[in-house]
Amino acid sequence: MTDELPENITRAIESTAPGNASSDIDVTLAQQNPEEIALLLESLPLPPRLEIWANISKEKRLDILLVMRNDPRQPLLENMSVAELDELFEGIDAEDLIELEESLPVPMLERAVQIMDERQRDLFAHALQYDAKLVGHWIDDDVLVLPVNARVRDAIRFLRRQLPVYTDTIFLTDRTGKFSSAVKVSRVFPELDHVSLAELAEEGLHALVATDVAAAAALKLQSSGYTALPVTDENGKLLGRLNIKVACELVNENFESKFMAPAGLDENEDLFAPVMKSSKQRAIWLGINLLTAFLASWFIGLFDATIEQVVALAVLMPVVASMGGIAGSQTLTLIIRGLALRQISKGNIKALLFKELGVGGVNGLLWAVVIGAVVLIWFTSPILSLIIALAILVNTVAAAIAGVVIPVALEKLKLDPALAGSVVLTTVTDIVGFVTFLGLGTLLLI
């Protein structure tokens, strides 16, 4: 598993394992870029993480913190002295402080804001007006802006002086500061000096609005062919831009949270969070799942007299529950991705339900026959075989319906389907499975 890890980082991590000397880490660190050091720090238990952090040069610290996740960087920030923090925050810009904001205790954040220069303080205050889910929270002001009547010669004079990172277009605004259009930097150079920039404007480039959903806007920027898009307020006034690095962070964070959510985890979860902190966070999720498990048990308990007479039913219960759960999770996963990609709307939900019912029906029939046959051989009871076949068919079809309906309903209720979907689904498939199976058993075997 160490194949893809830079060798010197592996060595550095290994040298922090109990019993090893940590002497050559400093040398190693001096040669690393911030991303690699951040990766190293996130990969370490807290004591060596703090030890290494203390040895990292002051100039590198901010860049490293900026690429770390919230949870693993929090202890680093909390263990810094006021003097160190003052040094860290000196000359910090609004964009960077926004990134650190969530990991900073309020007094530290206030101190950072105090140290900032006025312009950055304004930008920071402005970003905070927007929720972290919205584009406005994530903009920077590294924009090249010219009036809409500017000419190529103005642009070239401008470009020779400055070309901020991720700048591939110059934004044109009208006299009131409203965004009008954008011109590609690459289109400016080959033109004659007196050509009007407005004539060179990009046709397909539309500004983002500060109140747009950040993750969706970030995806749009990624596929736009540009490295930054202008961001305006709701009246069209140019506020700044969203750049592609921030867009990648937003998209990746969103994907990561969708991957972690089904286990009730947060995308900021620290690999080496303190045991008690981790236990507490996970306990909540275990508690919620326990309620649904007890609910399933209660339904089984309704049939205890039947189980006492036909123990084979108890033996086969996991098969019914498992097949329903897996079939349901397949549909659920497809629908959650569809919702995230905005593929699903009122117009196609019915067609989608029919398709999933079709798939559930086909696989329900197939596996009902297979499982029925296995049970017939195992328990030599044709009725038990029929019962489990019917239960599998019913549960697979129910799972298809639940897999479509549950995530769509959760989304409507503004709950994250990636988080709550699988718990609710498993509850449904467990109960439908157990009740059908044990219910049919009671009717036909007793």
- Interacting residues with its own copies between 313 and 352 (CB under 8 A): 314-319, 321-323, 326-327, 329-330, 332-334, 337-339, 341-348, 350-352
Residue 35 or 122: the one with the smaller Cβ distance to its own copies is 35
Per-position x/- string for 249-288, each x denoting binding to its own copies as judged by CB under 8 A, each - no binding = --xx--xx-xxx-xxxx---x-xx--xx-xx--xx-xxx-
The whole-angstrom distance between residue 150's C-alpha and the CA centroid of its chain comes to 42
CB of 345 to its own copies, least distance (A): 4
| Near its own copies in 161-180, by CB under 8 A | 161-168
CA atoms lying within 13 Å on the CB side of residue 281: 15
Q: Going by DSSP bridges, is the β-strand pair 145-147/208-209 parallel, antiparallel, or unpaired?
A: unpaired
Residue 109 or 159: the one with the smaller Cβ distance to its own copies is 159
- For residue 434, count other CB atoms closer than 10 A to its CB: 24
Options 57, 176, 223, 235; binder of its own copies; rule CB under 8 A: 223
CB of 173 to its own copies, least distance (A): 22
Asked if 134 is part of the footprint of its own copies (rule: CB under 8 A), the reply reads no
Asked if 1 is part of the footprint of its own copies (rule: CB under 8 A), the reply reads yes
Number of chain positions touching its own copies (CB under 8 A) = 127
CB of 110 to its own copies, least distance (A): 29
Contacts of 328 (CB under 8 A, 6+ apart): 399, 400, 402, 403, 425, 426, 428, 429
Asked if 202 is part of the footprint of its own copies (rule: CB under 8 A), the reply reads no
Long-range contact set of residues 83-87: C-beta below 8 Å, sequence gap at least 24: 84/58, 85/111, 85/112, 86/111, 86/115, 87/58
The Cα angle at residue 407 between residues 405 and 412, in degrees rounded to 5? 95
| Near its own copies in 67-106, by CB under 8 A | 67
Asked if 149 is part of the footprint of its own copies (rule: CB under 8 A), the reply reads no
- For residue 432, count other CB atoms closer than 10 A to its CB: 24
Residue 39 or 195: the one with the smaller Cβ distance to its own copies is 39
CB of 95 to its own copies, least distance (A): 13
**Of 218, 236, 61, nearest to 137 (Cα)?**
218
Measured between alpha carbons, how far is 352 from 26 in angstroms, rounded to an integer?
57
| Near its own copies in 23-42, by CB under 8 A | 33, 35, 39, 42
Contact 419/267 with Cβ under 8 angstroms?
no
Options 244, 384, 397, 398; binder of its own copies; rule CB under 8 A: 244
Asked if 308 is part of the footprint of its own copies (rule: CB under 8 A), the reply reads yes
Asked if 133 is part of the footprint of its own copies (rule: CB under 8 A), the reply reads no
**Of 39, 29, 34, nearest to 60 (Cα)?**
34
Measured between alpha carbons, how far is 384 from 381 in angstroms, rounded to an integer?
5
Options 93, 227, 415, 416; binder of its own copies; rule CB under 8 A: 227
Contact 137/214 with Cβ under 8 angstroms?
yes
CB of 372 to its own copies, least distance (A): 12
CB of 131 to its own copies, least distance (A): 15
CB of 139 to its own copies, least distance (A): 18
Residue 273, CA distances (Å) to 38, 75, 81, 284, 315 in order: 16, 10, 22, 16, 40
Span from 93-101, 128-136, 173-181, 298-306 in contact with its own copies (CB under 8 A): 298-306
Measured between alpha carbons, how far is 389 from 395 in angstroms, rounded to an integer?
10
Measured between alpha carbons, how far is 155 from 152 in angstroms, rounded to an integer?
5
Q: Is 236 left (phi over 0), alpha (psi -120 to 50) or beta?
A: left
Options 91, 147, 358, 382; binder of its own copies; rule CB under 8 A: 358
CB of 33 to its own copies, least distance (A): 6
Contact 69/42 with Cβ under 8 angstroms?
yes
Asked if 406 is part of the footprint of its own copies (rule: CB under 8 A), the reply reads no
CA atoms lying within 13 Å on the CB side of residue 68: 31
Asked if 387 is part of the footprint of its own copies (rule: CB under 8 A), the reply reads no
CB of 129 to its own copies, least distance (A): 21
The whole-angstrom distance between residue 240's C-alpha and the CA centroid of its chain comes to 25
CB of 2 to its own copies, least distance (A): 4
Asked if 15 is part of the footprint of its own copies (rule: CB under 8 A), the reply reads yes
CA atoms lying within 13 Å on the CB side of residue 266: 13
Asked if 211 is part of the footprint of its own copies (rule: CB under 8 A), the reply reads no
CB of 49 to its own copies, least distance (A): 10
